[in-house]
Structure 1
């Protein structure tokens, strides 16, 4: 039987909506106030095919597509979970960071649904969603842990002691790891989305073929910098000239090796400095197979547990938003309310999550 405090913090059925960039995600998570909330169903629509013709995300097109997709996805999720809309207890949405227009679609739909149902609503930090996404896996982590957050626009190392208790240990001072993958891929003529294409091509190349820089690898701190690596890739591509096509896989492999080595060494340094024995890797770059291979080996040698989200939950998705909302509510770090005059925060540092 739940204690009065646990009962007050049992959010029940949480509907989560993600629309920060080029994926529309909807999910249902159930939280009874104890233990890790349970994912009941989720659905995701990617806009990659639509944006490929432009070589990147077109914000206006992204917003319009979210409008078309979010309600059908919500109906799909409810049907798969065998739930009715009026069973939803809380509606959560991505408040930021992200594209302003895209965020407004998700927040507007969430607040309209909540108002129609007379249920409370909660805005969620997109990066906290990524950070807590490994709790959706079959092998969820336990607090405390070091987190390596590597999404398209963010690279951060954090000490995580509990839900809402995050301390940044290091972060990128310019390009993030995901941007380094994407921009390098574009320089190699691999199109959009570049990161996954570069990683696939790298499997066919020689990672030692080109000597590329590892920015800030020996800086003595836990900060990152990948802008110089992108410049080095550009310089090498120009040197190759007409030979680039023949050496494309080698340059891709060398680029990936540089990024992975920096992420690996900084993560292991963070574990040593904090004395923690658990590492969580989250965000889209966390799906990179070479990064996982090297982290798994290093963590096994150091007798450190490493946790990842399921591969299909590494990219932006509604499940991570519903989970983050449920965990914040369950831990008492957030209170859903009936104020439907929403606002969004396209720029919202994770260390300012409670402001």
Structure 2
């Protein structure tokens, strides 16, 4: 391992971040912690490539990353006004994610680091989300994180860099996945989340009563597959469904998800108070589902009810991006030793290894 001198908060580091874990190709230059600044944050979405398939196709995503990543890195460097002499280290997502894309990004980062003579930091994609609020809101440890995206739905207690405890997770579909599957079931375009929200705004939320799974059980785990099945059952009964019925079903589905997340957030805040009675609780929400306004409002209400701070980073930093990876690299560099060229990309990489077995494991490692 190599080291970068990082005495304290007076030290300022400039890091190039690379993110390719799913279907966004992203590069960013961030400096901090003394003077936190996002110098560039370039993101290229692949939605157009995957729309016809109704979801992300891993092979297509990996090829798209290969085709464009060099240009995205160059754009980020140019926008930041930086040369390689200005960069202290390269940080890149090393997992979890679609392994083809992760390999493209991390191997590119290794090549840059070797050519430029810079240290490399392999960043856990989930840690990027977990630490973003420290970049945007100067949030101190400890705090709660609710990560809600297409691939992840979990509550995490964030005690420090590299110190995470998963308090609850979905036992089946992630929330974003459930939104996408619901949209596909109802004939709405991909990606499903924004279209379900748009239709829900036109719907009657009282017409259908859908379940709030697991709320009759203790703990913070969640389930959304049964909710999706209940919606499909209602839709089948009324086939062919008209536009108003689709809107009403979307409204009922969105309300159920909002209610589940709000209830679990209240429970998570209660648990936080028992663990850290002297600390004013803060709940951070990140991930693409955080763009949903009804969900965001329900979480804000739950936080206010519990006299807790609610933080939702700007949407460009909630969804997958490279600025969060660069910032996580800075946080890691401040701790001292960093990774070397022997680090390998991985498809699975739970933040809390002690709680890695909820969804099982295999040759690729524990699921997150």
TM-score scaled to structure 2, two decimals?
A: 0.89
Q: Following TM superposition, by how much is the alpha carbon of 1:63 offset from its aligned partner in structure 2, in angstroms?
A: 0.8
Residue 119 of structure 1 deviates from its aligned partner by 0.9
SS in 1 for 2:14: strand
CA offsets 1:212-231 (integer angstroms, 9 cap, x no match): 11111121111111111111
Equivalences for residues 207-218 of structure 1 within 5 A: 207-218=205-216
Deviation at 1:10, TM superposition (A): 4.6
Structure-1 separation of matches of 2:335 and 2:207:
50
TM-score by length of 1: 0.92
Aligned partner of 1:336 among 310, 323, 338: 338
Match of 1:350 in 2: 351
The runs of at least 4 aligned residues of structure 1 exceeding 6 Å deviation read: none
Q: CA deviation at 1:272?
A: 1.0
| CA–CA distance in structure 2, aligned partners of residues 85 and 36 of structure 1 | 20
**CA RMSD, 1 decimal:** 2.1
- 1:283 corresponds to which of 276, 287, 297: 287
CA contact (8 A) 2:282 2:308 kept: yes
Q: Is the counterpart of residue 315 in structure 1 residue 319 in structure 2?
A: yes
Q: Secondary structure at the match of 1:241?
A: coil
Alignment of 1:233-252 (within 5 A): 233-252=231-250
Deviations 1:248-300 (A, max 9, x none): 11100100111111111101111012215211111111121111112222322
Q: Which residue of 2 aligns with 1:67?
A: 66
Matched, 1:201 2:199: yes
- Write the mapping of 1:49-128 to structure 2, written as runs, cut at 5 A: 49-128=48-127
Q: Which runs of 5+ in 2 are unaligned?
A: 274-279, 355-364
Matches of 1:12 and 1:223 in 2, distance apart? 38
1:6 equivalent in structure 2:
7
Q: Is the 8 A contact 2:21 2:98 kept in 1?
A: yes
Q: Partners of 2:42 and 2:294 in 1: how far apart?
A: 27
Match of 2:265 in 1: 267
Which deviates further from its counterpart, 296-305 or 226-235?
A: 296-305
> SS of the counterpart of 1:148?
strand
